[in-house]
Chain A
Amino acid sequence: MKNINITVKKNEEKVVPYIWINGSESEINFDAELIGEGANLTIIGIFIGKNSDSVIFNTNVIHKAPKTKSMTHIRGVFYDKSIFNNDGMVHIAKGAKGADGYFASKILLFDDAKGRSVPSLEIDENDLKAGHASTVGRPDENQLFYLRSRGLSEKQAEKLIVSGFFEPTLSMLSENKQIEIRQNLLKNL
């Protein structure tokens, strides 16, 4: 089990990526606290699971100060018999006026892979913004057909769709990090 603790102070801005490609950790817990006014945190989780990989990924983000902002973005692609389990908590504590917490996850499943992603909100303040969006699904048949009609094999089509699937999330990272992760992805799709 791996525990990652993050503290974001007044007017501080942090982007914390967690990349799990060919990973070995089976359970990862993110605990983040936004303790100073104007603290801003982006958590990015990128996952590719294969074979009998099994990953538990939990994020727990607590807004303790006013005008704090958090975004949790998770994208995962799972093949074979791999399993993904994700719980995402956003907690807006009393006094965190004007806080803005958001959780988004998109999980793409192939073969016999299984995935679960459940966001939850805990709110003890009235003046706030919070939201979540989660989808767990299979590759789009129409997209596959469109690409195959242009001569791509099913595998090539899947690969292209998956590489595009990560793009919106990658674009939130620094240029160097993007290049590093893209190379890693290419090797593992």
Chain B
Amino acid sequence: MNNSFVIKNLESSVGGKEILKGVSLEIMPSEIHAVMGPNGAGKTTLVMSLMGNPNYKFRIQNSEFRINGEDMFNKTSEERAKNGLFVAFQHPIEIQGVSVLAFLRTSYKALYPQEKIPLSDFKKQVVEALKMVNLDEGFMQRSINEGFSGGEKKRMEIAQLLVLKPKFAILDEIDSGLDIDSLRIVAKAIGGAVKKYKTGILLITHYQRILYYLKPHYVHVLIDGKIKKSDGLSLVRKIEKGGYAAV
């Protein structure tokens, strides 16, 4: 199917241990899907294997992973990115001596080789994105994530999302380590990307709070490597009351 992010019956194991036992999801542009689940449910494995981390491998028989109809299984991480996939990581990586601006410029050129944006215009876009997540423009010249606080790293991931305009974005526990004000800012910025770029969102989280700001169209509960239930926001309240056992 075109214009969609589709996974069907995904299975993945790490170090010989089966973690994902058949996960299926379909995300359309501008849709927000939340995946909730207890520790050890397979959330990180899902994220890492979707982005093509070499340490997490899918078993690809009887499974499907497509973006806009194109098969992603045999593609490298950078090819997946070029097909419009983005991950806001739970633990963003620090890279010494490489400025945020130089990194984003290289990345943008790789993703959109046909566009020729002058550096001065590109800088403006970066500054605007930083402003959206309440980071001052000085962050542009700093080394990637080096010396950033936990919250600053998370906000920088979202700033990157705003600059790189992916078709589909996986946000891995973007809310952990954020105070209430930052949470509101980040949720608003994500909502902005959904509206402006029609980015489809897969939001992975432990906590309910961000869901009240972002209002996902669908909530899925991942337990023991499988999606146990999918529903609307009402499912969040159910979990809030009775825990994952209530699902």
Contacts and interface: CB of A to CB of B under 8 A. Distances in A.
Interface of A: 140-143, 145-154, 156, 160-161, 163-168
Interface string B26-66: 00000000000000000000000001111100000000000
A150 B81 CA distance: 6
Interface string B103-128: 10011001100000000000000000
A31 B235 CA distance: 72
B77 A145 contact: yes
B93 A146 contact: yes
Contact of B81 (A149, A154, A160, A163): A149
Contacts, number: 80
24 contacts: A142-B93, A145-B53, A145-B77, A146-B92, A146-B93, A146-B95, A148-B52, A148-B77, A148-B81, A149-B51, A149-B81, A150-B81, A150-B103, A152-B78, A152-B106, A152-B107, A153-B110, A154-B78, A164-B95, A164-B97, A164-B98, A164-B143, A167-B97, A168-B96
> Which 5 residue pairs spanning A and B have beta carbons closest together?
A164-B97, A167-B97, A164-B98, A151-B81, A151-B110
Contacts of A153: 78, 110
Contacts of B110: 150-153, 156
A165 B78 contact: no
Contacts of B55: 141
B20 interface: no
A98 B134 CA distance: 47
A143 B91 CA distance: 11
A142 B56 CA distance: 13
B222 to A, nearest CB: 21
Contacts of B77: 145, 148-149
Q: Which secondary structure dominates chain A's binding surface?
A: helix
B133 interface: no
B180 interface: no
Contacts of B107: 147, 150-152
A103 B41 CA distance: 47
Contacts of B95: 143, 146-147, 160-161, 164
A161 B76 CA distance: 19
Most buried by B among A140, A145, A147, A149: A149
Contacts of A146: 89, 92-93, 95
B247 interface: no
A182 B143 CA distance: 17
Given A149-B86, A151-B107, 8 more contacts: A140-B93, A141-B54, A147-B107, A148-B52, A150-B107, A150-B110, A150-B164, A164-B96
B97 A168 contact: yes
Interface in B61-81: 76-78, 80-81
Nearest to B104: A150
Nearest to A166: B97
Given A145-B53, A150-B160, A151-B111, A165 B96 contact: yes
